[in-house]
Amino acid sequence: MEQKKIKELLSKFYEGSTSEEEEAQMREYLSDPSVSSLFPEAEYFLKCRCAVPEPSWGFMDKLETVTHTERKMSPRGKALRYSMTIAAGAALLLGSYFLLDYLRPQQMKDTFSDPAIAMAEVRNILTVVSNNMNTGTEALGSIRAMSIAPDAIGEFGRINKKVENNLGRLRYLNGLKAPVNATENN
């Protein structure tokens, strides 16, 4: 049972997760000569009984004086640093301007230097466009014939009214009874 407990405490010790009480308990177990002979690290563990001392008064101040050295720049060094900072900023600004100018779409440029040639080219293009538009309207001839149809329909409407008026005069005949044939009764 003790061996199992010692093995657990040793593994925790090697992981660095033992408390002071657990280390004291492990020292007590390993101080027994019959148990310490089973663990080769017992000799090392028993010799290492030194406690970790707390830092002395003023330790942090002494450490700060040893490790921290303040850099003092001469006025010439400050001026050089300031001018280098300004130069680097100006280089960044110029570089970004030229990069953005290069990536920006190019502005349109005039392709003709002579206005007379430019006007002739415009007329030529407008003539081609006009011919294309006229070519496309040839198929619309049959649709123009359809514009005559509403006028013809209006004529049918007038004819319809005349027929209705004339038939209206004959409606009284619907109320009359037809004569009975003698052959039908026999």
* pTM of the model as a whole: 0.28
Is residue 45 classed as helix, strand or coil in its secondary structure? helix
**Residue 38 DSSP one-character state:** T
pLDDT tens track, the chain, 186 positions: 577 888 888 888 888 888 888 888 888 877 787 777 777 777 777 777 666 677 788 888 888 888 877 777 788 888 898 999 999 999 999 999 999 888 887 776 777 788 888 888 889 999 998 888 777 676 666 666 666 666 666 677 778 888 888 877 777 777 777 666 656 555
Report H helices in 48-103: 59-67, 75-103
- Identify whether the C-beta of residue 45 lies closer than 8 Å to the C-beta of residue 29: no
Question: Does residue 73 contact residue 81 with C-beta atoms inside 8 Å?
Answer: yes
Q: Is 3 left (phi over 0), alpha (psi -120 to 50) or beta?
A: alpha
